[in-house]
Amino acid sequence: MKNEKLIRQIVLGFKPYQGEISPEELAKQLGVSKEDILPLHANENLFIEKEWILEKIREAISTLDLRSYPDPETVETREAIAEHFALESSEIVLGNGSDEVLDILTKVFIEPGNETIILEPTFGIYRFFTLLLNGKPQTVLLNEDFSPNVEAVLKSVTPRTRIIFLCSPNNPTGNQYPKEGIKRIIEESGCIVAVDEAYADFADYTLLKWINDYENLIVLRSFSKSFGIAGLRIGFAATNSELADIIRKTVVPYNVNKLAQKMVVVLIDSWDYLYKKILEVKEEREFLYNQLNKNENLKAYPSQANFLLLRVVKPHYTAKSLQNKLLSKGILVRDRSDLPLLNNCLRITLGPRKINQRLLDSIKEAFSEEP
């Protein structure tokens, strides 16, 4: 291969990220319009009206001069976030999606050979960024009920451990971790504990306030889920000001574009609407969970996020066959069977009632057909 000697070994060995087929591609394959496809594979927000977001974009963009660079200090946005989440703006580091914040964090803490602890099954990006820096991800399996095995996590800590990633609510299992266990890990590990709260607005609690109590705690939040702007790419980390100052020093200049920064300010101003949508997500979660569990071929797990994890328990039937059946009906869901503990599991994003009803009808139909 050209340039092989020049490319880092770890990069040469990387397998490309394998997502599901895109809604556009599926629409093309099925010969239908993109509007007929249900994108239930990426945990996006399907409750917020597309038109409502566009209206807010128009409002935000009308105040901007896009010929000039964004504010590198991101002052206005951090102040709005600080007020909304009851933080100090000095405690916030913004990123181009919380994905970028995770990239930044690993760069701050991981030297080659350092370790991170990752509670599997979980979001794949913690492993990806650790490996990219020649770090060594150490896996600790969740318990059968998907709660963290706190003893095992603490036992896995070595002098080389730098970050313990806790995703709570966890993607893809949906459960929020008990506070007591997280507290023990923060207090006893001696490592940076990064709690990824991308879905916390749909859950019972947030640990944002704990950043005042623990200097090794970093909480990550995303605007892609409860705020519905996955396409704009913005998220943040919250931690004590001293550490936030250090992390901010490493951020690429202008990493968050002007429109994303302004939209967060505008959306925080419209929180009443977004909050109503969060309540709708929770109602639909209850509805879909109950309906799915009425189907003897399935087991749905309780969720604190905007998606449900579903296990196919019909004998001689796999999650893959159900996924393929749904695909043929224009419904995209994520097969998570490749992850530990998740044999025959699909992850399904919640939608408003009409969408959930079409999903339920399609699942019923799928099970009545040959696998």
Ligand X SMILES: Cc1ncc(COP(=O)(O)O)c(C=O)c1O
Minimal CB distance residue for ligand X: 97
Task: Using the minimum distance from each CB to ligand X, give the nearer residue, 237 or 298.
Answer: 237
Q: Which is nearer to ligand X, 105 or 243 (CB)?
A: 105
Q: How far is the CB of 229 from ligand X (least distance, A)?
A: 9
Please tell me the distance from the alpha carbon of residue 91 to that of residue 145, in angstroms, as a whole number: 34
Alpha helices in the chain (DSSP H): 9-12, 23-30, 50-61, 75-85, 98-109, 125-132, 150-156, 179-189, 241-249, 258-269, 271-293, 319-328, 353-368
The string over 272-302, giving b where at least 16 C-beta atoms fall within 10 Å of a residue's C-beta and e elsewhere, is eebeebbeebbebbeebbebbeebebbebbb
* Smallest separation, CB 167 to ligand X (Å): 5
Nearest to ligand X of 123, 301 (CB atom): 123
Nearest to 92 by CA among 227, 231, 229, 256: 256
Task: CB nearer to ligand X: give 105 or 366.
Answer: 105
Of 254 and 317, nearer to ligand X (C-beta) is 254
Q: Specify the residue, 109 or 227, whose C-beta has the smaller distance to ligand X.
A: 227
44's tokens: 């996006």
User: To the nearest whole angstrom, how small is the minimum distance from the Cβ of residue 100 to ligand X?
Assistant: 7
DSSP annotation of 100: H
Query: How far lies 288's CA from each of 226, 294, 366, in Å?
Result: 19, 10, 17
CB 220 within 8 A of CB 198: yes
Q: Give the nearest distance from C-beta 26 to ligand X in angstroms.
A: 19
E strand or H helix that includes residue 94 = strand 92-95
Query: Helical H runs in 190-257?
Result: 241-249
Q: Which is nearer to ligand X, 87 or 105 (CB)?
A: 105
CA distance 338 to 346: 10
Instruction: Between 2 and 17, name the residue whose CB sits nearer to ligand X.
Output: 17
Q: Do 122 and 245 contact (CB within 8 A), yes or no?
A: no
Cβ of residue 233: shortest distance to ligand X, in angstroms?
Answer: 7
350 neighbors 308 (Cβ within 8 angstroms)? yes
Among 187, 264, 255, 179, CA closest to 221: 264
CB 208 → ligand X: shortest distance, Å? 15
Please give the residue ranges that form the binding site for ligand X (CB under 6 A): 43, 97-99, 123, 167, 171, 196, 198, 222, 224, 230, 235
At 217 the three-state DSSP class reads strand
In whole angstroms, the minimum distance from the beta carbon of 2 to ligand X comes to 32
User: Of 43 and 321, which has the nearer Cβ to ligand X?
Assistant: 43
Tell the smallest beta-carbon distance from residue 362 to ligand X (Å).
23
CA distance 104 to 90: 17
What values do phi and psi take at 80, rounded to 5?
-65, -40
**CB 101, min distance to ligand X, A:** 8
